[in-house]
Structure formats: structure tokens, C-alpha cells
Structure 1
Amino acid sequence: MGTIHESARQVLQAQVEFGRLREEAWLADSLWSWQWWLLVALLVLPWIVWWRLVDRKRLSEICLFGMFVLATASWMDEIGTDLILWYYPYKIIPWYPQLVPINYSVLPIVYMLIYQYAPKWSSYILAMVVMSALFSWGAEPMLAFMGIYQVVKWKFSYSFPVYLLIAISHRWLLERILATSRKYGGQ
């Protein structure tokens, strides 16, 4: 195994110190705060609602779509936090830089429900434009007001095309996968 270069050792030491400080701040400021409880609710409650509303005949298809959204949201959030475009003063757990309730619950569930209830592209795009606007200029500013989400080098308006691009590209991709699957004998 190779040796660790001095610059890599410095990065590792900084990460260890950052992890310690992040955990201390979480214990002192986040855990059990009303923001923490709100995040817990945003992680759990949408799944309960979704389970009541999901079309179980299309469960695999809808879940695959939701997993695409979840993976993309998490990946993009990781990049955004690493580039310090935004950060989250309140989190459910201190060891993960992303806003888990949004990436793993709210976003995939809203996208899945729109995907389920808007079967035509025209109604789907219209619903996604409305959702993108509500998230960009409603939900994100509200989370910022509550201190849960803090923008650094990002503007809420930047999120609108991102939400819409995720919606269009992921539906297009899923339709290609489903068509290929049917062509080769899948369901």
C-alpha cells in the first residue's frame, strides 16, 4: 500500500476536526430542536401518505422512478454542499452533509405522485412546472427562513430549471427502459 502524501494527511486531519466540530454543533444546536422534529416529520410522514396513494399495480415502475429522483437529488446535494453553494445548520444526523428528509422523502415522493397522476406528457410537464416553482420560490425560501437551509453561492431561482430537468430527463429515461423491457419480454 502506498504512503499518504503530506497534503492528503492535512486533508484527513481537517476532515477529522470538521467531523468533531459538526457533531458537537449538532448535539448543542440541532438535536431535539423544533427544526430537528420538523425534519423527522418530513422524513416519515410523506412515506405514510405515499403508501396510501400509490398505485400498487405500478409499484415497481413508480418506485424505480422515485429511486432515480432520490439518487439524483442526493448526488446533486452532495456536490452543492461540497462546493459550499449551500449548507444545512439543522440535520437529523450529524454525519451526513445532505438534507436527508428532502432528498430521501419529500422530493422522490412528490415526483412519484406527479408521475403517477399525470400520465400524459402535457399534464406531467405542467404539474412539474408548478411543483418546480413551488419548491424553488416557496419551500426553499421557507426552509431558509426557518434556518434549516442556508444558501451561500446559490439563488433559489437556480433550482427551478434543475427540478424541471430532473422531471423531464427521468421520465424520458424510465420510458426508454420500460419500452426496452417490454420489447425483450419484460412486463
Structure 2
Amino acid sequence: MNEEVRIIIEPIQDPEKIKKVGEYYRINSENSMNYFRYWNEHTLFHWDFWLSWGIAIVPWIIWAYCHKQQSRGRLLLAGFLAVIISSWLDFYGVNIGLWYYTGLAIPTIPSYVPWDFSLIPVLTMFMIQIKPQSSVWGKAFLFAFTSAFLGEPLFLWLGFYRLLHWNLFFSVPIYFILFIICHKISRIKFGDQL
């Protein structure tokens, strides 16, 4: 009665390709598990863990009390876009070996969550709402300079961020463009209500 029902579906993909890709994923999974064990012993509940979570949470609490409430939807849309762009680029940079992080808040995500999901979007939203009539180019430069030459060196000093094949100057145009895109999104006029 308890016969196992197995459905066998033969893929149209090349079996050798499936086998080779599966081997890469096995190696990646093994490395992830090794890192998780290391993180569990050397990061979880240590000072860098608590600082990382503080950096992830405190900016959002400050933003919740200080943002311009009439613009909340548009600011959050810009912040969400900042999260998507920064986390994707950060994830990509880590995976191709440009840099890496220690003291991760979440060991299964190679990018630094407090930076990508908190500091970058909250700073972006604050800079968009402060002096909204001032030059977007000046704000973008200030955002890029602050992020690349104050934020990143601070994380290098803390030992959370290690550069391998990257220079802080490379970050400036990326932050600049990120801010310009988020600012433009924050200015979108929404249509009729649903």
C-alpha cells in the first residue's frame, strides 16, 4: 500500500552539462556549509555580529521618525530600488572575487546586508528628502563621496570589508549613478488611485 510513486522526467538539457553544473553547485554548497560552521563559531553573538545587526536596524528606526511622511511611498520606492541595485552589485562583486566581508549578519548571503539593506537605502532616502530643490548632481556627488570615502574606509577599518581586486575610486561612479536613478524614481508622478 505504501508504494512510492516516482515520476521520471527526462530533461532535454545535455546530461553532461547537468552533471557539470551539479558538481559546481555541490562544491558551492559544501563551501557554504563550511563557512556557516565557521560563522556559527566565530561570528554569531560576537561583537561584529551585534554591530552588524545594529547597523542594519538603527538607521531604519531613525528614518521612521525623521522622514517626510507625505512622501513616504515615493521615498520607500527609491529606497527599495537602492536595495535591489546595491545588493545585486554587491553580491556580484563578492561572487567574482572583487571583495569579501567578515562579520556577516546573515551567513547565507555573501553581500553585507547592513550596508545594502539599511545604510545605502536610508542614506539615499534622507538625501532625496533634504533640500529637495537643490542640485541632484551635487547630492549625487556628496552621496558617492560619502559612501566611497567615508563609509567604505570605516568598514575596512572595522575589518568587515576586504578589498581584493577593487579600488574605492571605482565605487564613486556606481554610487553616483545609483543616487541619480533613485532620485529620478522618487520624482515619478503616480496616476489615478485604484
Asked if these proteins are the same fold (TM beyond 0.5), I'd say yes
* In 2, Cα distance between equivalents of 1:44 and 1:38: 10
Identify the structure with the greater helix proportion.
Answer: 1
Q: Aligned residue for 2:159?
A: 147
Alignment of 1:73-84 (within 5 A): 73-84=86-97
Stretches of structure 1 that go unaligned for 5 or more consecutive residues are: none
Report the TM-score, using the length of structure 2 for normalisation.
0.86
Q: Which amino acid aligns with 1:96?
A: I
Equivalent residue in structure 2 for 1:170, among 178, 182, 194: 182
Verify: 1:6 aligned to 2:19, yes or no. Answer: yes
Helix, strand or coil: the match of 2:150? Answer: helix
Verify: 1:42 aligned to 2:25, yes or no. Answer: no
Q: Once the two structures are superposed, what CA deviation does each residue of 1:131-186 show, in whole Å capped at 9, x if it has no partner?
A: 321221121112112110111111111111111111112222443x32xx34xx35
* In 1, Cα distance between equivalents of 2:83 and 2:92: 14
Percent identity reads: 23
Q: Once the two structures are superposed, what CA deviation does each residue of 1:96-142 show, in whole Å capped at 9, x if it has no partner?
A: 111001111111000001111131251x3323322321221121112
Q: Is the 8 A contact 2:124 2:182 kept in 1?
A: no
Helix, strand or coil: the match of 1:150? Answer: strand
Q: Is the 8 A contact 1:118 1:127 kept in 2?
A: no
Q: Aligned residue for 2:139?
A: 127
Select the structure of larger CA radius of gyration. Answer: 2
Aligned residues: 181
Stretches of structure 2 that go unaligned for 5 or more consecutive residues are: 1-8
Q: Aligned residue for 2:3?
A: none
